[in-house]
Structure 1
Amino acid sequence: MGELIGHARCSTVAQDLTSQREILASLGVAEDRIYLDKDLTGTNRARPGLDQALAAVRSGDTLVTRGVRLSLGGSIYDPADPMSKMFVNMLAVFAAFEADLPRMRTREGMSIARSRGRLEGRAPELTTRQQAELVRMHSSGELMEVFAVGRATVYRVPDRVATAAAEGA
C-alpha cells in the first residue's frame, strides 16, 4: 500500500488547522506529508498546498481524485468504484451549492436595495465638473484622450447629465 498524503485548508487567518492536522495524523498521515492552505476561500482557485499535495501523490497513495483514493474519516473511496464515484459527485454538488449561497444572498440584497431606491449602481468615473466639460467638448474627437476614459463613458455621460438636469428641473 502507498503513502498517505494529507491536505488541510481553512478560509480565514483566524481559523486554526490544528484539529484537521490531528485528524489526518490519527488516520496515519505523517506530519511531513500534510500540506496546508490557510486564508483561502472555497472559490479561490490558487491553492498552493493542494498543488503540493497533488505533486506528492504517486500511484497507490491515498488522497483526493485523479485516480487516487479518497480517505474521509477512515473510509476509503476509490474512483473506480461506482458507489464511491457517486458519493464524491454528491459532495461536489453540495460544495457547489454552498459556494452559490453567498452569491444568491448578495443578489437578493441588491434587489431589495434597488427596489427601495438605495442601490443606484456604480459611482460615475468623472466628477460633476468633468462631466460638464465632457458635455461641452462632446463634438470634438479628443475626449477619450483628454479624460483617459473609454468610448462608452464619452457617450454615456451626456445622457446621464441630461437625465439629471431633467429630474432637477
Structure 2
Amino acid sequence: MKNKLIGYARCSTDGQDLTAQKQALKSLGVTPARIYTDHGLTGTNRARPGLDQALAAVREGDTFTVPKLDRLARSVPDARLIADQLEAKGVKLALGASVYDPSDPMGKMFFNILATFAEFESDLIRMRTREGMAIARAKGKLRGKQPKLSEKQQKELRRMHATGDYSISDLAEVFSVSRPTAYRTLKRTQT
C-alpha cells in the first residue's frame, strides 16, 4: 500500500478562514479527503477533534503534514507529545515542504527548536496583548461595558422612580431597557 499524506489545518477564531491553509496542503500533495481541520480552536487548547482524527488516520510510513508548526502546537510540551505519537507510529512530519523524521536525532532536534520558537511567538503575542490592554486601561479607553442609558436618562429614571408614580416595569418600558437594567441604574445611585 502506498504511503499517504495526511494534512491538518487549524484557525484560532471563527472569523478566520482555512482556505489558504487547505490550499497550501493541496499544493504539497495532500488530497482534500485527507485534510482534517479545527476551526475556532487555539493551539494551546489540546482538545482539538480534527487533530485527534488526523493522528488516528496516520499509519506507519505516512507523512503528517501541516502548513506551519504554529498551526499544530503553540507550546513545546504539546509539540513534543504530538511528535512522540508520530514517532511511535512510524510517521514522518512535514512542516510545509520540509519533512522531519521524529525518530532521527537531527530531525528531533530541529523539530524541538521550531517548537520552542512557536511557543516563544505565542508568549510574545500574549505579553503584547496584556501590555496593550494595560495601556488602553490607563488612558481610559478600556472601561468595560458602557451603561445603556446616558447620564441624563439615568437622572430622569431616578427622578421618575422617586415620585412613586412609576413601577420598574413602567420605567423599563419608557426607557426601552430591561427591568434588570432599570434596577441596576437605581442601585448604581444608592452605592
Query: Same fold by TM-score, threshold 0.5 exceeded?
Result: yes
CA drift of 1:105 comes to 3.8
Contact 1:43 1:99 in 2 (8 A): no
CA drift of 1:9 comes to 0.6
Alignment partner of 1:83 is 2:84: no
CA drift of 1:104 comes to 3.0
Letter in 1 for 2:43: G
CA drift of 1:112 comes to 7.3
CA drift of 1:82 comes to 2.0
Q: What is the rounded CA distance, in whole Å, between the counterparts of 2:124 and 2:117 in structure 1?
A: 11
Letter in 2 for 1:29: V
Match of 2:157 in 1: none
CA drift of 1:102 comes to 3.9
Alignment partner of 1:11 is 2:34: no
Q: What is the rounded CA distance, in whole Å, between the counterparts of 1:43 and 1:16 in structure 2?
A: 19
Structure 1 residues 2 and 101: alpha-carbon distance in aligned structure 2, compared to 1, 3 A threshold: same
Alignment partner of 1:92 is 2:115: yes
Alignment partner of 1:32 is 2:33: yes
Residues 10-34 of structure 1: CA deviation (Å, up to 9, x unaligned):
1112211111111111221111110
Residues 54-82 of structure 1: CA deviation (Å, up to 9, x unaligned):
01111111116221211123221111222
Q: Tell me the matched-pair count.
A: 116
Structure 1 residues 73 and 110: alpha-carbon distance in aligned structure 2, compared to 1, 3 A threshold: closer
Match of 2:45 in 1: 44
Give the 3-state SS of the residue equivalent to 1:5 in structure 2: strand
Percent identity for Structure 1 against Structure 2: 67
Give the 3-state SS of the residue equivalent to 1:70 in structure 2: strand
Q: What is the rounded CA distance, in whole Å, between the counterparts of 1:25 and 1:113 in structure 2?
A: 42
Give the 3-state SS of the residue equivalent to 1:53 in structure 2: helix
Q: Which runs of 5+ in 1 are unaligned?
A: 119-169
Contact 1:42 1:99 in 2 (8 A): no
Alignment partner of 1:20 is 2:37: no
Match of 1:61 in 2: 62
Q: What is the rounded CA distance, in whole Å, between the counterparts of 2:112 and 2:44 in structure 1?
A: 17
